[in-house]
Structure 1
């Protein structure tokens, strides 16, 4: 905690890598990071209550249960349920074959749901540890939520929205207009963010309600309450919108690079992103409630479209030898280099086993297909550039700047 500042003026800083998961309940915030840790925060005091270590890889999903228990999901495909006290999980689920993308708890607090990038929803009975698995989608599940009556909503990269009974029986399904990147429940509305930059609202059965195109960049995070929804883009811009009409209340520029996680707590918005900080914002005014400074990032702006796209990468990666490795490895000299071969960076075993050389073509393919498909086992957040001109602009920029 910085000296001379009240707790209420503090943002939450303690992770050693980008924050990719947030959950909030009352005074508590549970964050998950690329640094493989989850931290339980006392938000009013701006202090860490517990640091949880279990996952081999990034913590990709978090949940706070009504009885004070906690749940975490990881890039390693594992789910852990933690008692209100203690340093070891009291229960674990059946490992998914791919990262856990989302967690949700049923209204009675008795069941945890875990959605994997392997297309399966796992239902874990917290009292008994009994597990039910359902192959809900043909591909990555991008969002999971539970309605007040216990029905379960999911969206997947197979461009489908599904509505299921509490026992996972399929009730309804609908086609989606684009690739979804996240889901939040707001009363009887289902808010979904998409790679085409749109925030769309659906009925639980999949009928389209209002939609709002916010940007030409992918939206990658969403959070909602009864009358408010927040959405974040891969470039770090965050919008706060009113429900049900999706009128824009505030546009926020957190200045922390890409924002990968959002949470709403009372009248406060929390953002977690590339610099490892969790920032707090007023839902009423859009003003910052904390004073955490953004982590420094190299600025290479030659006025090109590629430089504009690069800003979303600049906190995780440097372009020069002096910049060194950050949350991701330095990209200096990337073209012609074998994947996972840069000294001094802790690459995952999956990447070290790959036979791939970085070229403008392979970097473009990475952003066309997404890291999970093209470089499975990467710690890089799932993101894509759907426009081939944007992919070309980025690789041209990298070719100029990383020699």
Structure 2
């Protein structure tokens, strides 16, 4: 895999978010991916979260500080789903490269490849006991692999067309799947067992979610409807309308009393699970909401989508939590310097993974303090790859500009590091101007201390 270079250089000037201060305000949204965010997973203790991006990366977040702990690279395409393994310490991911990986939390590279689909991975599930990972793919297959031992992958085929959703039911002895063919199927986990037809919707099904007690299945479809099915009788119990477009994501509160759905037009609807009443509608995203996830206490909801935002919601108030500082509030921007203000806005996709001050230290990427005139791969204490340690590239306005204009493969030949390129020359100039201003300010302050 050609990922060794990209996983070390990736944090250098790429996935850089949130406010410009060393520590962002509590409760601010998680900003770090260089583009759309497709999935969120929150750890069982609520202390950390994982997000999966179209920039090929997974970010491991500290939920209290909203700082990126680790930037994780392994996929060669957009990452479509990610999930913690119960018990802590591990996670699984799936991507549009068809790969499903097992990760050790805290590592920058995957532990091993579990299996691969011939097409995009659309959904992941981990069994309640943490023994198995299952994935649904555009190739019409469901694949399941043990996370320990050397048992082989089980392949399940029964859907006609792409499979959009997979989850473990009950104690993990059965799988529920749903697909483009409009059917929901129930599979015994035992190898070679045939599926049962659980329900036939008639239109493509996008997502499934099961209540904590295992009694109610929530179904999201392309017809803008949300359906509740009784798991025992398999009968449709409720048919609800509240979205203005197809429903793309579902999450149920840990107490099983409420749930949230995200739609293709940016709506998030909060529902009562018992009687299907809509409780409130949340609007903050521009474009599809691909993922929603509750904190373990059920008081907050995280949502993510095509607009690249990961928003934290206060469900009691129905409002977004926190607010990012405006660029003009930054001490790095001289009064009236519009170019620096524009650069600060662009730098919002940098600040979580990089600091600008001498005492800021490393985050997911090395500090940018002193970056101009520095040879790549030379900051003490940051684990660069051998290729970067031996590189003769010097970071200056030209090489930084080339990184954003042409992409990293032109600056570091052979790397596949993803990057949200800046095609506009004026934007590149603004970002570099801001970096110059911010680092000069940091140097002056350091000289005064």
Q: Given the two structures, how large is their TM-score scaled by the length of structure 2?
A: 0.62
In the alignment, is the contact (CA less than 8 A) between 2:133 and 2:147 conserved in 1? yes
User: 1:245 aligns to what?
Assistant: 275
Aligned-residue RMSD, C-alpha: 2.2
Over residues 341-368 of structure 1, what are the superposed CA-to-partner deviations in whole Å (9 max), with x where a residue is unaligned? xxx899xxxxxxxxxxxxxxxxxxxxxx
CA spacing shift, 1:282–1:243, aligned 2, 3 Å? same
SS in structure 1 of the partner of residue 72 of structure 2: strand
Structure 1 residue 52 displacement after superposition? 0.9
Match among 204, 221, 224 for residue 197 of structure 1:
224
Query: In the alignment, what sits opposite 2:204?
Result: 179
Matched residues in 1 for 2:324 and 2:230: separation? Answer: 38
Whole-Å Cα distance in 2 between the matches of residues 5 and 81 of structure 1?
31
Aligned to 2:125: 104
More helix by share: 2
What is the aligned counterpart of 2:30 among 6, 12, 15?
A: 12
Is the CA contact (8 Å cut-off) linking 2:182 and 2:202 kept in structure 1? yes
**TM-score computed with the length of structure 1 as normaliser:** 0.69
Aligned length: 297
Q: What secondary structure sits across from 1:103 in the alignment?
A: strand
Offset, 1:280: 0.3
Paired with 2:245 and 2:286, the residues of 1 have a C-alpha distance of 17
Hey, what's the Cα distance between the residues in 1 that align with 2:180 and 2:31?
A: 33
**SS of residue paired to 1:93:** strand
Give unpaired runs (5+ residues) of structure 2.
Answer: 1-17, 327-404, 408-449
Q: What secondary structure is seen at the aligned counterpart in 2 of 1:44?
A: coil
2:189 equivalent in structure 1: 166
The CA deviation at 1:129 is: 4.4
Structure 1's 92 and 139: CA in aligned 2 closer, same or farther, altered over 3 A?
A: same
Pairwise mapping of residues 380-391 of structure 1 onto structure 2 (< 5 A)?
none
Q: Is the 8 A contact 1:24 1:265 kept in 2?
A: yes
User: Contact (CA 8 Å) 1:163, 1:204: kept in 2 or not?
Assistant: no
DSSP-derived class of the 2:115 partner: coil
1:138-197: CA deviation from partner (whole Å, max 9, x where unpaired): 211111111232121111111111112232634531211422111112132111111110
Q: Contact (CA 8 Å) 1:77, 1:96: kept in 2 or not?
A: yes
CA contact (8 A) 2:125 2:167 kept: yes
Residues 18, 33 of structure 1: 8 Å contact kept? yes
Find the counterpart in structure 2 of residue 118 from structure 1: 139
Contact 1:144 1:184 in 2 (8 A): no
CA change 1:4–1:240 in 2 (3 A) is: farther
Are the counterparts in 2 of residues 235 and 257 from structure 1 also a CA contact under 8 Å? yes
Larger gyration radius, structure 1 or structure 2: 2
Counterpart contact for 2:271–2:277, Cα < 8 Å:
yes
Change in CA separation of 1:213 and 1:63 when aligned onto 2, cut-off 3 Å: same
Aligned counterpart for 1:93 among listed residues 89, 114, 117: 114
Question: Match for 2:49 among 11, 14, 29?
Answer: 29
Query: Does 90-99 or 160-169 show the bigger shift?
Result: 160-169
